[in-house]
Every structure is written in C-alpha cells, then in structure tokens.
Amino acid sequence: MQGYPRADGTKGIRNVVVVAYLVECARHVASEIALGFRDRDVHVIGFSGCFRSAYGFQMMERLCCHPNVGAVLLVSLGCEGFDRGELGARIAASRRPVETLVIQHHGGTLATIAEGQKWLADALTTLDEQKPVPMSSHELVVGTICGGSDTTSGLTANPAVGKAFDLMVGDGAAVMFEETGELIGCEHFMAERAARPELGREILACMAKAVSYYRTMGQGSIEEGNLEGGLSTIEEKSLGAYAKSGQSPINGLLKPGDRPPSGGLYLLDIVPDGEPRFGFPSINDNHEIAELMACGCQVILFTTGRGSVVGSAISPVIKVCANPQTYRNLADDMDVNAGRILEGEATLSEVGEEIRDLVAAVAGGARSRSETLGHREFVLGYKSFEPIGPACLPSAA
C-alpha cells in the first residue's frame, strides 16, 4: 500500500482536489468548474442548507481535511450562513492548498467558473509533483455499509466483509460499521462484544435512541425493495447487517466526524441526538458514506444483494455483491462476487481474504469499479449530535 502524507500524520490513498459548494445556490457553479476536469480526481461535495449548522460545518471540515484530499476550492454564493472564512482557515492550517471564490464578488457564474478552472489547473499541477510513500495497515481506516439488501446479503456479502474486517483488525487497521437503525435487535450482542463494560452501556444507550427515534418518526430501516428481495422483518435485516462487523471486540463508539484513535473495530452512531426531527434521518446510502468518510475512512466496502451502482466523492467504494444473479446482471459495477459462496464455488473465508486483498490493492493505486465508471455521488443534510463521552473510546494508555 502507498499513501500521500498529510501534516496531521495520516496518509491518503488518493490525492483528490475537492470543489466544495457552501450552499445549494453555488452547486451549479461548483459542478461546472469541476466538469472540465472529469478525467482527473476532481470531486464535488457540498452543504446545501442556507442556515448555519454545527454538524454541517464539522462534516465539511472533516471532509475537506480528509486524508484522501490534497487541495480544496470553496465556492460560496456570498450571503449564506456558512462560515466560509473559518472553514478556509482550518483547511489552510492543515497545509493543503485552498482558495475561496464568492460568486457575488467575482462577477457571477461565468467569471467564477473561469477563475475556478484556472485555480484547479494550477492545483493539479502542484499535486502531480507529489509522490506517494509506503503505507502500512495500521494507517488504514475502512468503513462498511450495505444497500439494496436481499435475502442473500446476510448469507454471503455481509459475513464475508465481517471475515475481511477480522483480518484487517489483526493487521492493525481501524474498521467501522454503522447503520444503527438497521442493527435493532442486535444491541445485546454488540454490548457483549464491547472491549469495556462502560462501552457496552454506551452501545445499549445508543441503540435505545435508535429504537425511539424510528418509532417516533414512524419509519424503519426495512423498505419495499428489501421486502421484494425476500427479507421478511427488520430483525432478519438486522442480523444480516450485523454480520458485517465480524467477530472482533468492539473497541469504540463514534459519531459522524469522530476519528478512531487506534486500530480495531468501531461502531458509528448515525442517529441524531435530541428530540426526533423530520428531515434529520439519513436513510440514504450516500449520506451515510459521507459520514463514514468524515470519520477518516479511506476506503468504503459496500455490500448489496439487489444491486447498487453508486460510488462516492473522495473515497473509493468497493462493491461486494451478495447475489450471484445480480452480479451477472451488473458485472461492470461490482468488484467482488460473494454470490460464489451460494453456488459452492468459494467459502466465506476465501471471499473475506479476497476482499482484504482488494482493499490493499485499491490502497496501492488500483481503481475500484465505481471509480473507473466515474461515480462521485455525494449527499449531506442537517443533523445534530452531542460530543461522545470518554467511555466511547479506548484510553490513550
């Protein structure tokens, strides 16, 4: 594996230039700036809301300072509530090249696009001069998410990722799973696997929040596509989602934007704190991928039974397909055919090793299918979180 060294001691497996819009009104200009560089690692992300949001600011800061990001162009309309000055200052403090364009101050759409494209060309020239250095497993952070699940997800792809996670934890990497709303019913299993009793209690409280939240909102994490794929209950889906975590002890509990302080397995709590509010849940794969990336994940493992074609901006997405028929239908979009397990052509352990080896290859420069196809989806909305407590993380000692 190889990575680009950053000032904070992390390494990125990519050297992406991010074009970040700070309100929906600036999205078009940001997209047009990046369009001229679609064959390069220039990715568009952004926060669409006009009102200030502590969560939105933290997410954008963490993403713009992600290990895989080498330079950042901020695009502002000019009158939104987002604190562009502070964000720019924090990016600059991370020793990344950064520039801020304000559409209202730079002559409108065409002038801002032209100026942005000139800055991008210069930034890419600078980044091209940087060379990656060797990178070890303990510098790697990997996240996982499932989407488009069916009856095969919990039998093949999810437990195969769990096997890969156990191998990566053994190698010293930090790995994390999430979707607490899709783990309802498995809370006691997770609490028993907690590395410390106090962490087990935090996991139970986190899951109780998820149950209350979804009950109040009148929605759950099982939907029509899952039912059409043969899943019968939220409990069945939860057991399948839980299988992605493998069997390693759970080392910590994170919230979006928190970075794992050391290797091991972590649970990411994505359910907002406080009173349930409409518009806050993120039953959206790309929003959850963004939250995993904000925690420092350089690679995302995406398991699917029915099929998904999304990738992401910033971090490569590796698709692990659970259903052999889906793999045949969507072979161009899938990286790993875990459905071979159902057809007797491979074991869970063999596919787990294949996933671990593919993560290492992607961290060494190989492109995932979604990268090759140009998928750079990104979603970010409003949420609210309280800081995690000391019981959630392993001690420094």
Q: CA 45, 48, 51 angle in degrees (round to 5)?
A: 135
Is the pLDDT score of 230 beyond 90?
no
What mean pLDDT is predicted for residues 370-383?
92
Is the pLDDT score of 224 beyond 70?
no
Radius of gyration of the chain (CA): 20
Q: Which position has the higher pLDDT, 38 or 68? A: 68
Distance CA 212, CA 27 (A): 35
8 A C-beta contact, residue 384 and residue 280 = yes
Give the residues across from 19 on adjacent strands: 44, 73
Percent of the chain at pLDDT > 70 equals 94
**pLDDT tens, position by position, 314-345:** 999 999 999 999 999 999 999 999 999 999 99
Distance CA 321, CA 302 (A): 8
- Residue 336, classed as helix, strand or coil, is strand
**pLDDT tens, position by position, 233-276:** 667 667 778 899 999 999 999 999 999 999 999 999 999 998 88
pLDDT attached to residue 3:
95
Percent of the chain at pLDDT > 90 equals 78
**pLDDT tens, position by position, 351-363:** 999 999 999 999 9
**Residue 33, Cα to own-chain centre: how many angstroms?**
24
Of 160-169, 190-199, 306-315, the range with the lowest mean pLDDT is 306-315
pLDDT attached to residue 314:
95
| Closest among 180, 153, 327, 162 to 236, alpha carbons compared | 153
pLDDT attached to residue 11:
97
8 A C-beta contact, residue 257 and residue 58 = yes
What mean pLDDT is predicted for residues 46-52?
91
Q: Write the CA distances from 124 to 5, 38, 130, 257, 298, integer angstroms.
A: 17, 13, 10, 27, 20
Pairing of strands 16-21, 69-76: parallel
> What band does 213 get if pLDDT is binned at 50, 70 and 90?
confident
pLDDT attached to residue 220:
66
pLDDT attached to residue 319:
96
Distance CA 103, CA 78 (A): 6
Distance CA 294, CA 59 (A): 6
pLDDT attached to residue 359:
97
H/E segment holding residue 396: none
What mean pLDDT is predicted for residues 290-315?
94
8 A C-beta contact, residue 130 and residue 15 = yes
**pLDDT tens, position by position, 88-104:** 999 999 999 999 999 99
Q: Residue written as tokens 């939220």?
A: 234
> What band does 229 get if pLDDT is binned at 50, 70 and 90?
low
Of 127-141, 230-244, 289-303, 340-354, the range with the lowest mean pLDDT is 230-244
Distance CA 246, CA 265 (A): 9
> What band does 282 get if pLDDT is binned at 50, 70 and 90?
low
pLDDT attached to residue 329:
95
Tokens of 78: 């000019």
pLDDT attached to residue 192:
96
Write the CB contacts of 227 (distance below 8 Å, at least 6 apart in sequence): none
What domains lie within the chain, and their CATH numbers? Answer: 2-133 (3.40.50), 137-386 (no CATH)
pLDDT attached to residue 86:
96
Is the pLDDT score of 34 beyond 70?
yes
8 A C-beta contact, residue 210 and residue 184 = yes
What mean pLDDT is predicted for residues 288-314?
93
| Closest among 45, 32, 29, 31 to 102, alpha carbons compared | 29
Distance CA 198, CA 206 (A): 12
pLDDT attached to residue 150:
82
Q: Residue written as tokens 């999304």?
A: 310
Is the pLDDT score of 182 beyond 90?
no
Q: Three-state SS string across 293-316, please? A: HHCCCCEEEEEECCCCCCCCCCCC
Phi and psi torsions of 388, nearest 5°: -70, 155
Tokens of 361: 């290859």
Q: Which position has the higher pLDDT, 227 or 156? A: 156
Distance CA 112, CA 28 (A): 11
pLDDT attached to residue 217:
80
Distance CA 369, CA 137 (A): 22
pLDDT attached to residue 163:
97
pLDDT attached to residue 111:
97
pLDDT attached to residue 281:
64
H/E segment holding residue 107: none
pTM: 0.93
Q: Residue type at 280?
A: F
Q: CA 370, 374, 176 angle in degrees (round to 5)?
A: 40
Q: What is the mean pLDDT of the chain?
A: 92
| Closest among 169, 210, 205, 188 to 389, alpha carbons compared | 205
